[in-house]
Amino acid sequence: MTNKFYIFGIALMAAVCTAILLAYPHLPSMVPTHWNVHGEANGFSPKWSLFLIFPGLMAGIMVLFRLLPWLSPKHWGVESFRSTYLYIMAVLLCLMAYLAGVTLWVGMGRAMDVTRMVIGGVCLLFALIGLALGRVHRNFYIGVRTPWTLANDRVWDETHRLAMKTFVVAGLAGLALTVLGLSGWPTFVVLILGALVPAVFSLVIYKRMERSGSL
């Protein structure tokens, strides 16, 4: 079960390397790698650095996800939800592959609204991670980690059941706004609310349990 996620990650990384190699002869010596909120390129990198930026970061993500369980204190590990933990890793890798595709497409001189494409990808990431939050157990690395969720299993569980809904709704709403051409502050506000609501909820439920003496 664990290995299939890493096999997927390695295959995806190899696909990105292949795409960069195929596009390499058609890329200028300096390619745009950063854009402002208006979709204008304001940062450029040598084209060889694409191997570090995308496959390199993807490898770094896989190494980090491999190390975090070993770094976890006893009884705070990810073993009880390892498949969900690795699903989140796979989603992050897919986002990196998607961003690599956007960068290569623009680097070859093709027209694209980069801002909308990137924000749309982030919104989809938000929704896909949200689908998994209800299965994430208490830990230091993944999830809505507030002082109150980390202090109590019930607070953690109830907060993440809510977060699963708010993340999915915010991600899909942000994606819809982006498709409609409203990417930018409206989308960011929706995403921030999707993350902020469960964080505030964790405080509310913790204080409610504290008053009732059920902590």
pLDDT digits (tens, 9 = 90+) for 132-163: 999 999 998 999 999 999 999 999 999 999 99
Least reliable range by pLDDT among 66-70, 108-112, 164-168, 188-192? 108-112
Mean pLDDT, all residues of the chain: 91
Average pLDDT on 8-23 reads 96
User: 41-46 and 30-35 as β-strands: parallel, antiparallel, unpaired?
Assistant: antiparallel
- In angstroms, rounded to a whole number, what is the distance separating the alpha carbons of residues 207 and 188? 29
Task: Please write the tens of the pLDDT for every residue from 29-43.
Answer: 999 888 876 777 888
- % of the chain at pLDDT higher than 90: 73
Please say if the pLDDT value at position 2 is more than 80. Answer: no
Q: Could you give the C-alpha distances from 125 to 93, 121, 171, in angstroms and in order?
A: 10, 6, 7
